[in-house]
Amino acid sequence: MKRVTLLAGLAISLGLAAQAQASTLAKAQYLSATCANCHGTNGKSNGGLASLAGYDKAKFLATMKDFQTDKRPATIMHQLSKGYTDAQLEVMATFFASQK
């Protein structure tokens, strides 16, 4: 009986972990969809602007910070970048870095 309970607990934990992962991906896709108009679906640019797919995570975070603080000159990204929290940028950075 104990073993059954343990297995059930394990199954539930695994299920919850999978669910948490799926919701992180959904959140990342939701946040990143805003960027698709200009940088392409999932960050895959069709050539007009820089691709965000495969963008180095640390470089992404540094670049977005530079846009937020007006350290990097921009026509639009200085405004867009200010709409995101550090936590949201972290989610997007991980998502874009994982795109081929």
The binding site for ligand HEC (CB under 6 A) comprises 34-35, 37-39, 49-50, 52, 60, 63, 74-77, 80, 92
Cα separation of 100 and 55, whole Å? Answer: 9
Report the residue number, 35 or 53, with the smaller CB distance to ligand HEC.
35
Report the residue number, 14 or 58, with the smaller CB distance to ligand HEC.
58
CA dihedral 79, 83, 84, 85 (to 10 degrees): 110
Structure tokens at 14: 């695994």
Please, what is the minimum distance in Å from the beta carbon of residue 20 to ligand HEC? 23
